[in-house]
Structure formats: C-alpha cells, structure tokens
A and B are shown apart, each in its own frame.
Chain A
Amino acid sequence: MSTEERKGQDTSSRQTRGAVGDQRLESAAQPVAPAVEAAQQVELTINGQAVEAWEGMTLLQAAQSVGIFIPTLCHHKELSDYGACRLCSVEVIRGRRSRIVASCLYPVEDGIEVLTESEKVVKHRKTILELIQTRWPWVDKELLEKYGAQPGRFEEKTDFCILCGLCVRYCSEVKKADCLGFVGRGAQRQVVIYPERAIELCYKCDGGKMGCRSVCPTGTIPNEFAHTGPRFGKKLPLAYPVKSYNEDNAREVLQTVGDWRMPWVRSQTMPGK
C-alpha cells in the first residue's frame, strides 16, 4: 500500500485516535483506587473544582476521574508513564510558587491548585502541537483549532514517527519481545526493528495484528508485515542490515542498503561517493 493510499484511507480514524484522550477518558470515568487499601487521601483543586484523590495517583488520573480533559500523546493506561510529549503539561500552584509539570507523571499533593487551561499552558500546548506537526502533519484538527496551532510555522521534516515510544514500551513491557527499540540521540533518535526477533515473533503477535501497530498514533508502523526479507519495515528502518558484514566491508554494507539509512552509524558516506 503506497503512502498516499494509506494516508487517505486511515487518517480519519488515526486522527481521532491520535493526540486525544477521549477513549481513555470514558473508561476511566470511575475514580481509580490504588491497590493499597490504607492509602492516604489527598485533596486538591483542579480548575477550581475540589477533587479527592489517593496518594500515588498522578494529576492526570485525578483530572480524568472527575471528567476534566487533558490532551495526551505518549500516555497509555497499560504502559509505564513516559513523560516525553509534554502535551499533558499543566500549571501547578502551591502557595506563591507556580510551575509547569507533566500531569501524567506528577504525583498528587495535598493543597495544590492545578490549572489545566491557564494562559501559559495553552500557549505552550500550541507550540508543542506545532512542533509535532513538523514530523507528522495530520494531527487532529479539533485539537489544533482549540489551541490555535498554525501549521507551517516551523520547518517541516515529515518523517512520520513522532517518537512517542508507545510501540517500544508495548513490545517491551506487554509482549516482553523487544523487537523494537530506540537508537541514537537527539534529533537522530529513531525507532528501529530488530530483524531476527521480528521475523520470529511479529507475525504471531496479537493474532497477526501486531500490538505495536495498534498503539501507534501515526500509522508509521506498516500495517502488513511483508514476509519478503529486508523489505519489511519500510518506514521503520532496521537496526542493522540483514546482509552479514565484517571489518573489511562494514563501511559499504552499513551505508545505504536498499532505501533506508542508519544515520546514527558514525562515519557515514565515504569521501568521494
């Protein structure tokens, strides 16, 4: 399936699944009681509303328990909290001090005042959404409008993966398979597939539907697993080429192989080539 077809076909469902917390919001309608029975109760205010929560809950859980919406991207109920997208940032006021924190990670505290839509928060969310758009242009339109994000404000990269880490965490924590992983650092950070494990395990993951694909908000993970050797993972590169290599031919093999690159391998294109 070509890129354009995939874009046209699935964007609608992907848009709603993407950077919006609605679905999870419904299932989290009941207050989440932590496992420990004797947990301490904590009282805080969110957007002026008094909220009762238990020690150990995060601000996001507390907000969702009373139906307050906070947009999230890299957060997932079943996976560990990552805190990478910062879209869920809220303003926390304690006494005279105010700070911006990630609500998916910040533990509830007694007596704090939380603002989920303060002026600062709205401004920052706008900028974050604009930055996400540089990598993946099909961010949910409602969300963009709500925060006034303008597309095209920043230089675009459009390499589809927004590095939310959901696929990596899913494969590692839920499936315990480690077929996907991060490599590199900074803007060279990428998600890659490990060919040997992928060949052995992915085709039977979640009945062939592949769990990582079901959590990916952008559709970067291909929806069919082409069992034709190095051609799978067209959008997600492999961690290393399938072809074997040794010290003498490493440089040639590790460069462009097929239609993907490994920018994190230092000593790239040979001089003169």
Chain B
Amino acid sequence: MAKLKSLLDLEELRKSIVAARDPSKLCITICSGTGCHAYASEKVAEAFSSEIEQRGLSGKIDLRRTGCHGFCERGPIVVIFPDEICYLSVKPEDVSEIVSETLIHKKIVERLLYVGDDGKPISNENDIPFYKSQIRIVFGDNRLIDPQSIEDYLALGGYAALAKALFEMTPEEVIEVIKKSNLRGRGGGGFPAGIKWETTRNAPGDAKYVIVNADEGDPGAYMDRSLLEGNPHSVLEGLIIGAYAIGANQGYVYVRQEYPLAVDNVSVAIDQMRELGLLGEKILGTGFDFDIIVHRGAGAFVSGESSALMTAIEGRVGEPRPKYVRTAVSGIHGRPSNLNNVETWANVPLIIKHGADWFRGVGTEGSKGTKIFSLVGKVKHTGLVEVPMGMPLREIIYDIGGGIRDNKKFKAVQTGGPSGGVIPESLLNLPVDFDELSKAGSMMGSGGMIVMDEDTCVVDVARYFLNFLADESCGKCIPCREGIQQMLVVLNRICEGNGTDDDLEILTDLGDMMRDCSLCALGQTAPNPVLSTIQYFREEYEEHIKNHRCPAGVCKELINYYIDPEKCQACMICMRNCPVGAIEGGKNIVHVIMQEKCTKCGTCLEVCPPRFSAVSKLSGVEIPEVAAGGIKVR
C-alpha cells in the first residue's frame, strides 16, 4: 500500500477497503487470544482452513483469526458472520460438522451453543447473558478484526479520530476534550489523564515522551494483554493523538516479555503504520513527526511502576525513583514524560471521535466511562468483562459471571491485585468506582477481580500476596524490603498455628509504617491485602491464632485429612492413589491415614467415590484414635 500523504489519501484508502468487502459474505471468526490459544484454537483454525479448501469453498467463505472475545471460560470461540452465530468450546473434531451444517445447509449445531439457565440455547453472541449487561465500547472490536491486519481496523473506521485531531483540532483543544471527559487512568492510579497531559505539555523540556504501560503485572489480570494482542491499533492511535496533544515526537510501548503474542502483534502493527506513513515524518502530510519504540520488560513487577518503567527504558535497573518531582515534569532522561495504561490510551480515539459528552454519558459522578475487568477465580464464567462504571459488584459477579461455581457460598472478591483488598458479601452492592472501592479499603487497580468462596482462606490469601510482593520488591528502601519480610514471618507463624496475641498489632504497626514511609507505591500499598482482610475477617485470623483452626481448610499445618470409619467401604482407591503411601488398610479393612506421613496433597479427598464420601478435612479438632489391628468394614 502506498504511503498516505493527506487526509484525502486516508479516506480514499478506507473507502476502497470497505468497497472491497461484502458484509453479507459468510465469515468464520476464531478467537485467537492467548487464552484460546491455550485451548488449541490454532488447530481449530487450521481445521477450518483445510476443510474449506477441501470442499472447494475458498472463494465463498472468509476465515479470520480475531482478538480475544472475553468469554475465556468457554474458548475456543467461533462466531459465524453475518448472523453472528456463536459456537463455544469448539474442538477441531467439530469443524467438519460446522462447515456442512451451518455454512452449507444453514442449520445450527445446537450442542455447541450456549445454554441459558432456562435450558434454552442461544445462537446470537449478543444475546448470551455473559455479554448482555456489558458495554463493550473498548473491547468490542476485538472480535471483528484480525489484529495483524491494518485494513480490518481501517474498515471499522480506524484512524478517523487521529485525522480529526490532526486536521480539525489544536493540541490544546484535544487536551480540553480529554479533560472534560474526565478519563481517569485505568492502570490503577485513577489519575485524570487530561491533567497529566496538560502538565506534560506545559513542562519545560527540549523533548517530550509518551509511553504505553503494558507491563501488566497483577497476577490474575490480563485485560491489557488481550487489548494489546487483539486490537493494537486502537492503543497506538490513542498514543499518537496523545503525542500530538502533548508535543512529543517519540513514544515507547513497554510490554512484558511474558506476553510474546502482544509483543509480536504490536510490532507488526507499528511496521504497518510506518508503511502507510501513519508513523514517521510528516504524518498524513502534516508537520507532525512521531515514531514508536517497543521495549520489552524482563520479569519484574516493580518495573511497571511509572518511574521505574522510565528508568528501565533508559537501560538501567528498573527501580522506582522518588516522585516528589512528577514524571510528567521529569521522566525519561529528566524530560517531561506522559505515561498511561493500555486501556487508557484505547479510550482516547473513542473520546475524540464521539466527544466528551458521549463518554460522560456512562458512569458515575467521579468515574466516567467503562472499565475492563478480568473476572476470575471461583466464578462460573471467567473471562474479561467491560462494564460501565457504577455497576454494582453483585451484578458483575452474579449476572455476568453466573455466580459461584459448584454451588459454593460466596466469601469475598479481591480487587486491585497485590495493592488492593477484599470486599466481603455485606458490601456487594458497592458500585465499581475509583473512590467507592478506595473508601472500602480496596482499590480499582488495573482491573483484576478475583472471586473467592468458602473454601478460600483469607489468611492464606494475604500470605500469598505478601509472598508475591516479597519476590517483587526491588529492595531499595527499608520499610518495604524489611517490612514485607517481617509481615511474612508473622503470617507464616499464624498459618502454622504458632500465632501470638500480639500478632495482629505487629501487622498493623508494620502496615502503617509501610504505608507512610515507603519509597514507592509497591511498598505503600503492600499492607493493603493484610489490613483489608484483618478489617473484614478478623474472626478468621483469631480462629487461626487462638484455636489453631483454619475454617476454610486450607492452611496445611492446621488441617488433617481423616477417613470416617463409618463411611469407608475399603475400596482401596485412595490407598492406590496416595503419592506417599500414607494410607493403611486393605480389602474389608477400613482405611486409615497415617498423619505423620501425610503431605496434605488432597488426593484422597478428590478420588474417594462420591457415594461413600468418607474422606473429610478436619481443622482445630483432635483426630479420633483408631483401634489397633484395623476395623472391619461395617
């Protein structure tokens, strides 16, 4: 394709692409995000490709590998256009049936459809309850485009916002629109993007930088990855608009190397943009020059902190710097640098295109627009969901997520990753809103939403997050480095049954000090999971400390597996499966677990046939003695 040298060139190209496409033509789209890749979606795609060729239908049917649809629980997802028939959990073996039934005979393969709670199958993707309550303004295009095709993006109206900004607005006007929209950072900080842009623009410096933070390190959150993999152009378009508004000529995309598909797709997108002249000198014939460098992370959560990220881009160790002078004023090489999260940048073209008022039409007073969450954990439908700000947590977990799996009881939902806290059932009506979540002792964070049920121990969860942070702390300042270690010592003590009465006070003292004195936000928010779980689940901590009991049956040192002699039928299944041979017994002799040998792996509980259900977990009680010589089965 020839370089675009003017607005007219761009519009001509778009027209020609759209004209060459037939919206009524059959098109098979296969979700090819990393999640579905893990479910072997590529094999499904190849199966379709060869099946279509075998049947001589190559010219009549398009095949498109798209970005992530979000319904990751039921991948691989195949959607057939133009009717948007949605097939879930498709395997390569299903392909020939789909081709003959749906594509040729126009019949639906019912067994691959989503079945609602009322038993009725749903064929159109948009009617599936998972999607119905969502407002997918940012994530929605993922399913329509091949991320490695700039034509797909252009066909949907891509880069029209860039053209509008370059040709119809001044940089200051762009900033005004973003300010008016009240777009707040989607990476966790929630800082108003417009104000950051303005500060960067006004700061003195011989050069300015704009940066995409794709270092998504929160465990359990993968929205940014799916956005960058599935629709890289939306993010990059936002970046160029921002660069124009701020007056930057160099941009960076900092991606973790653990996201190889995202690195690939973003690099391909950048190459395509350069080819078309959307990057480089004199973009679209204006005087604006801009180019982007992709910088890979190397495995450090702390390097996702904005000042640490900039230090890493300079080629030095990615440790945070004190932020008394904002990075918007002094960032990379001391120059004004504007850093925003992937999702924040992806919202920018939409705001420029549709206006600030359109964006403000969705959301609450303090938080406008939508937010993508990764709804994971013990919920029925795990995946990525995009909801309007202000939607109650209950609706997200139950209506969209389908409620708790295996009919268990809800316990808490953890938001904000390692910097956040837990929200108990009593607060489930809380709307997702930056300020509301902070008031409750948690935070929005980057969007991780981990649902926990009665089998989750919150003390163990707090310990889990501290272990994560201990591994990821850069170790520069004393409060974080030493504070996390000492908090871990205390939590390990509690989980092992050696907790003391002072422990909760020690945790609170350390937590307060870390919150106030740490150098960066990692240390400052490190106590949050601990303090938040103490706030809402103090009784569970006290059970561990005073009664040496783990109510959820998780903390290994506080539980024992026990075979009920009344229920055991001596089938020998658990005996055979025990990896350390800790079960004694035989045919007709009730099985007994030798507690000294038991490693608490839980295999016996998993394999005991449900009709016997003889194995149970005991905590905080004495294990009943077993008579010598074994008991015969009743």
Contact = CB atoms under 8 A, between A and B. Distances in A.
Q: Report A-B touching, CB under 8 Å.
A: yes
A187 B477 CA distance: 11
A78 interface: no
Interface residues of B, number: 31
Given A83-B477, A186-B470, A187-B475, A100 B517 contact: yes
Residue in B324, B325, B506 with the greatest tally of chain A CB atoms within 10 Å: B324
A200 to B, nearest CB: 25
Interface string B473-491: 1111111011111100100
Query: What DSSP secondary structure best describes chain B's contact surface?
Result: helix
B300 interface: yes
Interface string B419-431: 0000000000000
B516 interface: yes
Contact of A189 (B471, B481, B506, B518): B481
Residue in A84, A128, A132, A153 with the greatest tally of chain B CB atoms within 10 Å: A84
B155 interface: no
A262 to B, nearest CB: 16
A186 B474 contact: yes
Interface in A111-148: 120, 123-124, 127-128, 131-132, 134-135
B483 A131 contact: yes
Interface in B502-539: 506, 509-510, 512-513, 516-519
Contacts of A102: 322, 517, 519
A105 B322 contact: yes
Contacts of B478: 84-87, 128, 131-132, 162
Residue in A102, A120, A131, A182 with the greatest tally of chain B CB atoms within 10 Å: A131
A185 B322 contact: no
Interface in B288-328: 300, 317, 322, 324-325
Nearest to A157: B485
Given A131-B483, A163-B475, A86 B519 contact: yes
Contact of B477 (A86, A127, A153): A86
Contacts of B516: 89, 99-100, 120, 124
B472 interface: yes
A32 B427 CA distance: 54
A107 B325 contact: yes
Nearest to A135: B482
B481 A85 contact: no
Contacts of B519: 83-84, 86, 102
Interface in A181-196: 182, 184-189
Contacts of A131: 478-479, 482-483, 486
A101 interface: yes
A155 interface: yes
Contact of B489 (A85, A155, A162): A155
A87 B479 CA distance: 10
A154 B486 contact: yes
Contact of B475 (A99, A132, A134, A188): A188
Contact of B485 (A99, A101, A128, A187): A187
Given A85-B478, A189-B481, A128 B473 contact: no
Residue in A124, A127, A155 with the greatest tally of chain B CB atoms within 10 Å: A127
A260 interface: no
A260 to B, nearest CB: 19
A84 B517 contact: no
Given A86-B479, A86-B517, A89-B516, A154 B489 contact: yes
Contacts of A134: 482, 486
A102 B519 CA distance: 8
Contacts of A135: 482
Nearest to B502: A153
Given A131-B482, A184-B475, A86 B518 contact: yes
Contacts of B485: 187
A203 interface: no
A89 B325 CA distance: 17
A102 B518 CA distance: 9
A106 interface: yes
B325 A123 contact: no
B482 A185 contact: no
A176 B300 CA distance: 28
A28 B308 CA distance: 33
Contacts of A154: 482, 486, 489
Contacts of B481: 163, 186-187, 189
A153 B483 CA distance: 12
A191 B486 CA distance: 21
Residue in A102, A154, A185 with the greatest tally of chain B CB atoms within 10 Å: A185
Residue in A83, A86, A153 with the greatest tally of chain B CB atoms within 10 Å: A86
Nearest to A91: B516
Contacts of B317: 182
A140 to B, nearest CB: 16
A123 B481 CA distance: 18
A102 B517 CA distance: 8
Given A84-B519, A155-B486, A186 B513 contact: no
A107 B323 CA distance: 11
Interface string A157-172: 0000011010000000
Contacts of B510: 127
A85 B483 CA distance: 12
B507 to A, nearest CB: 12
A186 B477 contact: no
Contacts of A189: 474-476, 481
A100 B519 CA distance: 11
21 contacts: A82-B476, A86-B478, A87-B478, A102-B322, A107-B324, A123-B509, A123-B512, A124-B516, A128-B479, A131-B486, A154-B482, A154-B489, A162-B478, A165-B476, A182-B317, A185-B300, A185-B474, A186-B481, A186-B484, A187-B484, A189-B476
Given A187-B473, A187-B485, 18 more contacts: A84-B477, A84-B478, A86-B517, A86-B518, A123-B509, A124-B516, A127-B513, A131-B479, A134-B482, A153-B506, A155-B489, A163-B475, A185-B472, A185-B474, A186-B471, A186-B475, A187-B484, A189-B476
Interface of B: 300, 317, 322, 324-325, 470-479, 481-486, 489, 506, 509-510, 512-513, 516-519
